[in-house]
Amino acid sequence: MFFIKFFITFIILFIFWISIIFFQSANPTKSSQWIYDVYNKKTNIANNIQKEKVVIVAGSNALFGINSKMLSDAFNKPVVNYSVNAGLLLPYILYKAKKILKKGDIVILPLEYSMYNYNGLASTQMIDYIFSRDFDAFYTLSFLEQFYMIWNVSFKRLYDGYNFSEDKKITTGLYGPHNINEFGDQLQNSLKYKSKAFTNQLDNYKAKTYGREYNEKALSWIYLKEFNSWCKENDIRCIFIPGAFMKYESYFTDEKERWFYENISKIAIKKGMEFIGEPYDYMFKKELYFNSIYHLTSKGRDKMTQQIISDFQSFSK
C-alpha cells in the first residue's frame, strides 16, 4: 500500500511539475535572446538566396571559424553560415538546419566533437531555448529526451520563464545580430578586440576528453544518419568536416584521444556519410583563438577556411 501511495503521489507531483513548465513555454527569456536574434538574421539571409547555396551548420566554432566570403569565392556559390551555439545540441541544430535547406544545396557540418557524443541529455541552453523560443522542436525529440528535458528544468529557469520581459533585440556585446555580417559570420574577433578578460577565459580552459567519453552506440549517430538520409532524399549534398579546436598535447599522446581523432572520420564514412578532412589539420595553436578553445580569431578563421578549401580541392581531384 505504501508503494502504491508513493507512486500515485509521484505521478501527481510530476504532472503538476509538467503543468508549471508548459504554462511558461513560449515566454521569451533574456538568456535566449541573442541566439533567437542571430538565428532570425541568418534565416533571413538564407531565405533571400534564390539559388543553390552552401550552408554551414555547427555550433560557435563555425560561427567564429568560417570566412564565408572566402568559401563563396572558392566554390562560386553563395554561402550562409548558419552556425550559432553548440550548447543547443545536435538534435536542435539539425532540426533548425532542415528548415532552410533546399534541393540542390550543399550542407557542410564542421561539428564540435562533443556532438558526436550526444547521449540524449539536454543542456541548460537547449532547455532554455526550446521552452522559450521554439517549443515545436520539443515534439521532435524521443520520449526519453523529453523526459530528461522536463526533469532538468531548474527553478531559476522557471522563474525566468514566468518573469519574462519584453522581447527586446540585443544590440550590444560580443554576441548578437549586430556582430553578424551579411554571410552569417561573427564580427569583432580580430586581435584588437581580444580583451584581457577574453585572454583569461582562454587560459582557464583545459584539454577535453572526447576520446575517453566516446561511445559508438551514442544517440548522436542515430541523428546524424537520419539527417544524412534526409539530405539524400531531398537532393542535398551533406558533407562532414572537422571543427575548429585548440591544439593540446594530450590529443596526440593519450591513446584514447589519439584514437578518437584519427578515426572519427573513418567511423562516419563507414556509416555512409561523406567526411572530408582530418581533425589534426583543424587544431590550431593558442594564439589563433579568441575567447574559447573553439573560437578562432579572424586570422585563425582565414587559416581554417583555407584548410577547408584545400581539402575540398584535393578531394575533388
Residue 23 has pLDDT above 70, yes or no: yes
| Residue owning grid cell 520581459 | 165
Give kind and range of the element (H or E) at residue 1.
Answer: none
CA trace torsion 152, 292, 244, 66 (10° rounding): 100
* Cβ proximity of 57 and 93 under 8 Å: yes
| pLDDT confidence of residue 13 | 72
Q: Between the CA atoms of 187, 189, 191 and 192, what dihedral angle is there, to the nearest 10 degrees?
A: 50
Q: What is the pLDDT of residue 2?
A: 66
Burial class (CB in 10 A: 0-12, 13-18, 19+), 32: buried
* The predicted structure's pLDDT at residue 208: 98
What pLDDT is recorded for position 12? 73
Question: Cα dist. 281→46, 228, 277, 284, 310 in Å?
Answer: 29, 24, 7, 8, 11
CA distance 228 to 57: 13
- Whether residue 312 is predicted with pLDDT greater than 80 in this model: the reply is yes
Q: What is the mean pLDDT of residues 159-164?
A: 86
Strand partners for 283? 245
**13: its cell numbers:** 507531483
At a CB cut-off of 8 Å and minimum separation 6, what does 84 contact?
35, 38, 39, 42, 59, 60, 63, 93
No. of H helices and E strands in the chain? 14, 9
- In angstroms, rounded to a whole number, what is the distance separating the alpha carbons of residues 58 and 93? 7
Query: Residue 222, class by beta-carbon neighbours within 10 Å (0-12 exposed, 13-18 middle, 19+ buried)?
Result: middle
Confidence of residue 119 (pLDDT cuts 50, 70, 90): very high
* Residue at grid coordinates 532570425: 40
pLDDT in tens, 224-255: 999 999 999 999 999 999 999 999 999 999 99
CB 51 within 8 A of CB 103: no
Query: What proportion of the chain, given as a percentage, has pLDDT over 70?
Result: 98
Worst-scoring range by mean pLDDT, 14-23, 63-72, 97-106, 210-219?
14-23
For 43-86, what is each residue's pLDDT tens digit?
999 999 999 999 999 999 999 999 999 999 999 999 999 999 99
Structural domains of the chain sorted by starting position, each given as residue range(s) with its CATH number in brackets:
2-316 (3.40.50.1110)
| Helix-strand-coil split of the chain, %, nearest 5 | 60, 10, 35
How confident is the model at residue 16, as a pLDDT? 73
The mean pLDDT value of the chain amounts to 95
pLDDT in tens, 25-49: 789 999 999 999 999 999 999 999 9
> Quick one: average pLDDT of 212-223?
97
Q: Render pLDDT for 274-301 as a digit per residue (tens, 0 to 9).
A: 999 999 999 999 999 999 999 999 999 9
What's the rounded mean pLDDT across residues 174-191? 98
